[in-house]
Amino acid sequence: MTESTEQKPNRVKHVVIVGGGFAGLNCAKKLAANPNVRITLLDKNNYQQFQPLLYQVATAILAPSNIAFNLRRTLTDHANVDVKMTEVVSVDLNTCMVQAAQGQQYQGDFLVLAAGSQANFFGTPGADENSYPLYSLHDAERLRSRILAMLESADRDPSLIAKGALNFVIVGAGPTGTEMAGAFGDMLQESLKKETSRKGYRDLAADHAQILLVDAGHAVLSAFSPSSQTYAAKVLAERGVQIRLGTTVKEVGGGHVVLSDGTRIPTHTVIWAGGLKAASLSNHLGIKTGRGGRIDVQADLTVPGLTGIYALGDFANITGKDGKPLPQLASVAEQSGKPLAQTAPCDCLGRPGTAADP
């Protein structure tokens, strides 16, 4: 008898992806093209948010529905992707098993950690309790309500202006803080113009409101080119934004902030765009994490010393070709999700591959 040369069908491999943001969603889409892969996508929300436009929701330029997209609908053409709305609270990296808040467990042959990020308050007293971060759709809606509430309160009782009702402090002059400051400046100027008082606030004037942009660095958009920094600073000044560089926030109180130069500013709205750290899941992995609580990964986005474990997006410290860490931006997260899909299917099919493959 001669042994049959007929190839046995490949066993379908299961990939569990934690996080449906730019990185996780794009990874799921690419993996789904492989019929030998089954994907379970886990996220605490049933939508993907377009984070770069959160500031437009916060300033009432866009409605929340304009930047939130249903995950199931996005993946409706991919029958091998199963979406579960649940929050992952712990991970067993040795068995590729995750535990959900409601008690369910999901185990895969491969595990992709793309749980995203959260605001990093860097231990600033009172910042967690008294400021308004801008890193999620919920944050943007909450901030929009706060801004409108302050305008309405000051319109109803102008004496509140002296107590800081119309002083708005934005912490962090990176992309999020700078975009928020510019859009907010436009919003306030339009709302408080006397010639449009029939639509706006009749008893308030533009000079009643102050927007302060505070950053420890020495330039707005410090990660960008000098020409971009100069242009951004000019545009912000035209919109009435006061820029305080080389300055940090030392305390955020219920009705004030204290800056590193000793200045005490009465305010009831502190917008936190001062930095990111990995989502809280990073505290429950049982491994040492790197800068910002993120997972240090290798060039192929695998976690050193572990088999079948990947980390990407804002949940990972990813190094660029120049050896420097890549920033926590949507574009980086999206691009990290795509090449990973080239690695995992290759592993599933028993073929070598790297995240850097074209």
Catalytic residues: 179
The first and second tokens of residue 222, run together, are 């410090």
What are residue 97's DSSP bridge partners?
92, 107
Q: What whole-number distance in Å separates Cα of residue 339 and Cα of residue 201? A: 51
How many of the other CB atoms lie within 10 Å of CB of 253? Answer: 16
Contact 316, 336 (CB under 8 A): yes
Say how many Å lie between the first and final Cα of the chain, rounded. Answer: 44
Mapped onto helix, strand or coil, the DSSP state of residue 5 is: coil
Distances in Å between the Cα of 51 and the Cα atoms of 140, 175, 212, 328 are 10, 11, 23, 11
Q: How far is CA 143 from the centre of its chain?
A: 15
Look at strands 295-296 and 316-317 and give their pairing.
parallel
Query: Which ranges of the chain does DSSP label H, i.e. alpha helix?
Result: 22-31, 54-58, 71-74, 127-130, 137-156, 175-192, 226-238, 330-348
The phi, psi pair for 88, rounded to 5°, reads -80, 130
Contact 38, 13 (CB under 8 A): yes
Cβ neighbours of residue 161 closer than 8 Å, sequence gap 6 or more: 154, 204, 208
Q: Where does 172-322 show beta strands of DSSP type E?
A: 210-215, 241-245, 249-252, 256-259, 264-266, 269-272, 276-278, 295-296, 309-311, 316-317
Specify the amino acid at residue 112: V
Look at strands 117-119 and 276-278 and give their pairing.
antiparallel
Mapped onto helix, strand or coil, the DSSP state of residue 64 is: helix
Contact 338, 25 (CB under 8 A): no
